[in-house]
Amino acid sequence: MRMIPAVDVMDHQVVQLVGGVPGSQQIVMPDPLAVAGMWVEKGAPYLHLVDLDGAFGKENNIPIFKRIIREYDVPAEVGGGIRDSETIDELISAGADRVVVGTKAVKEPEWLEEMADRHPGHIVLSMDTKGGLIAIKGWQESAALSVEDMFERIRDMPLAAVLNTNVDVEGQRKGIDEAQARDFISRCPAKVIASGGVTSRRDAEILADAGAEGAVVGLAMYTNVISPWEWDTPWQA
């Protein structure tokens, strides 16, 4: 299982929020391109680029993400506020390996199916969970569909993966919710990228054992609580 550094951009700076709450940022770094380069220099095999401005309905950061993709020879997935086919086409044409869609995909599964069929193996569904419910609109609202309902909707779609961020433990540096992670991964009909609470190699090993394809790590990696580039098998659990 690969470890994937998150580059979350808000107000055109890299930030790390607690539970997705604006104003809770514990890390602020002014240059997203330099931050992405820092992880690439440490050997990161993949990048997770998140447009928090786009998720909150502000001016998006797609130009800087396209530049990161162009300048660094590392595959990347891009998400955050992506709600139209034109943006997906633009990002994939620019070299994004995967595009992450959340709010619109959950609210309009027919659109998700259309995008998955249009770009098979390149669309990631973001099924972020908060209190056991699917969280949408920058984690500010709960979706009408249940997690199980969504699993049934995507069962035959050619998705690249499902990204599950456990908002309840995101950015708190307290570790993962093992029971939640194992339950989600075991029931999901697609490959799962786990996110939220990874603060130790043991957390990563649990997710790998549960069958996760990857683990997105944010605050714990920025504060050197976890340093997967120093492991005997770097960036792998």
Catalytic status, residue 203: no
Catalytic status, residue 8: yes
pLDDT tens for 43-63 read 999 999 999 998 888 889 999
Q: What's the pTM?
A: 0.93
What is the C-alpha to C-alpha distance for residues 16 and 7, in angstroms, rounded to an integer? 9
Which among 51, 53, 97, 128 is annotated as catalytic?
128
What number is the average pLDDT over the span 206-230?
95
pLDDT for the residue 23 = 66
**Average pLDDT value over all residues in the chain:** 91
Q: Show the 3-state SS of the chain.
A: CEEEEEEEEECCEEEECCCCCCCCCCEEECCHHHHHHHHHHCCCCCEEEEEHHHHCCCCCCHHHHHHHHHHCCCCEEEECCCCCHHHHHHHHHCCCCEEEECHHHHHCHHHHHHHHHHCCCCEEEECCEECCEEEECCCCEECCCCHHHHHHHHCCCCCCEEEEEECCCCCCCCCCCHHHHHHHHHHCCCCEEEECCCCCHHHHHHHHHHCCCEEEECHHHHCCCCCHHHCCCCCEC
pLDDT tens for 1-34 read 999 999 999 999 999 866 566 666 778 999 999 9
pLDDT tens for 86-127 read 999 999 999 999 999 988 998 899 999 999 999 999 999 999
Which among 8, 51, 97, 203 is annotated as catalytic?
8
pLDDT for the residue 9 = 95
